[in-house]
A and B are shown apart, each in its own frame.
Chain A
Amino acid sequence: MKGVRHYPGFLAMTIGCLVVLYAPLIVVTVYSFNGSTSITQWGGFSWRWYADVFTGPEAPRFAAAAWNSLTIAVLAATAATAIATAAAVAMVRGGRFRGKSATFALINLPLMVPEIVTAVATLIFFSAIGLTTGYLTILIAHVTFCIPFAYLPIAARLEGIESSYEQAARDLYATRAQAFRLILLPLMAPGIISGFLLAFIISLDDFIITNFVKGAGMETLPTAIFGSVKQGIKPNIMAISTMMLAVSVLFVTLSYFINRSGQKTRA
């Protein structure tokens, strides 16, 4: 059979896709180092917009938003990972139980529901139960939509761990709790860390849902950037976007390698 490379138009299509996907990112990254105030004219290499992010007029606003984003991401990812771990153990190790497929669908539903629908529904829900929008509502919303992202790598990992390890532990006088803590949890660790990192990034990047449930005066980094762009794009936005991109790439890469190294040491 001919390789896919030999199909006519393969090269053009590949280049087209790559350009559409990555050219904007490259432009943003490159222009974040632009020496001039213009966002289209190159004025030589400089760190000035990075300095502006930390010391410029908008610095206090960005700092507060960054702090909110960071703490929400850590808390939401932690809670989502804990819930996803429990869910994965129940789904993968719980044998057959009634409503198993329904549970699986429920866990993964947020991946399929359009984000805008979730955003509106969540907002309606919060106002219906009389919860004032703010930090707490953002956190609750983030925990919910982070669960499936944490769940997928954890469940995949657990599926690859034979149940004979836990049985061997139980056979050697470990209680259920000891078998979980001393054997299953360490073996699941790469999946759990990977799930946590993914959930963290998803929370950090979220805009649509956050924008709906954040309430007045409350900002996360994405909503602060959006607010600032509404008054025209300044190069400091490119600097801040580049920094977020760097964090995302770092975490996703980390998540990938942790998952892979875990697979290699499996005996």
Chain B
Amino acid sequence: MNAPTVDIRNAVKRYGTVTALHGVSLSIADNEFFTLLGPSGCGKTTLLRMIAGFEDVTEGEILLFGKDIARLEPNHRPVNTVFQHYALFPHMSVIDNVAFGLKMKGMALAERRARAGKMLEMVHLSAFADRLPAQLSGGQQQRVALARALAPDPKVLLLDEPLSALDLKLRQAMRVELKQLQEETGITFIFVTHDQEEALTMSDRIAVMSAGHVQQVGSPRDIYEAPVNRFVADFIGETNLVPVTVEAVADGRATVLLPGGHRMSCAADAGIGPGAHHLSVRPERMNLGTTGDLEAVVERVVYLGTDLQLHTHLDGGQPLHVRLQNSARADLPAPGARVALQIEEGAARLLVD
């Protein structure tokens, strides 16, 4: 079997007394679009900088194609980076920026100009070759940074929140372009973001991080539909965490007592036993019914265009959000009304706390 492209084994990073990463292990495969997702300060940039070679690994190891790279200087790693603020060389023209890595690798002038020109064509910036970076818009600078990092044909491309400085429209367009580029080039992308929508739309796999730990690794679907713990459920998308009591577990199914006295059956991961737990239910996976699993009191109805959102609370006072399609319905509940809510089959997920 082939060694993974990037294999991080129990990597620990300490800055003096601060521990930024507590034993992170990840295996990233060839051609993968892999995303590190997590809130600010969780250690995403630190991990990326350790792969690039700007920070050393306090403990553990990082392997590239099966070889430990701890002793390799950044210029000897077949890894390139798109920096968060691009770090384009301000005194060099766009084409010289893109050709810089090729020049350092010893490629002849004519050849590297031709290749840099091709890279600029790929990011639709051929007309800007002779400008200075300061004469470009943020989006254009971002593309130059991308072209510059891809020009030397790295095995792995590291991207640190490359879209965070762009406006929403451009960001959405760039998501598609980046994904396409990754598929065309077949280069392994390791992408850092704190934007879960970005992560869900582009990634093959996502590692959700918090406070220096990896909480869950999986496909966007896994992460969204089957979060393993409260942190992931809460961080990815919107969810309701309903306190419940597990009464019995048998054959991977649990009998769950809901607030309000109804019971339901749902899948239980290994590690879930009888006792108090939380049930994660996405707002869009509940419906109004005449009878339901939960009973709640409507506080407000929020109009969101394509959707309507009901802000409700259970009898115990816990808030519960419900998202309904904005069809031409006449029976919308008014604030103060009591409603019965049905949870869709398979939509409730029992969490290990």
Contacts and interface: CB of A to CB of B under 8 A. Distances in A.
Interface stretch (B87-95, B193-201, B267-275): B87-95
Contacts of B53: 170-171
B117 interface: no
A243 B13 CA distance: 61
Contacts of A178: 104
B100 interface: yes
Interface stretch (A20-28, A136-144, A159-167, A233-241): A159-167
B148 to A, nearest CB: 7
A168 interface: yes
B52 A172 contact: no
B73 A172 contact: no
**Which size bracket describes the interface of B in this complex?**
20 to 34
Interface string B124-161: 00000000111000000000000011001000000000
B83 interface: yes
Interface residues of A, dominant DSSP: helix
A222 to B, nearest CB: 38
Contact of B87 (A167, A173, A174): A167
**Which size bracket describes the interface of A in this complex?**
10 to 19
A254 interface: no
Given A164-B83, A178-B104, A172 B148 contact: yes
Contacts of B90: 165, 187, 265-267
B210 interface: no
27 contacts: A162-B87, A164-B83, A164-B85, A165-B87, A165-B89, A167-B52, A167-B54, A168-B89, A169-B89, A170-B54, A170-B73, A170-B74, A171-B52, A171-B74, A171-B80, A172-B75, A172-B100, A172-B104, A172-B148, A172-B152, A174-B75, A174-B100, A175-B75, A183-B89, A265-B134, A266-B134, A267-B133
10 closest A-B pairs (Cβ-Cβ)?
A267-B90, A172-B101, A173-B104, A164-B87, A168-B87, A267-B134, A170-B74, A267-B133, A173-B75, A174-B104
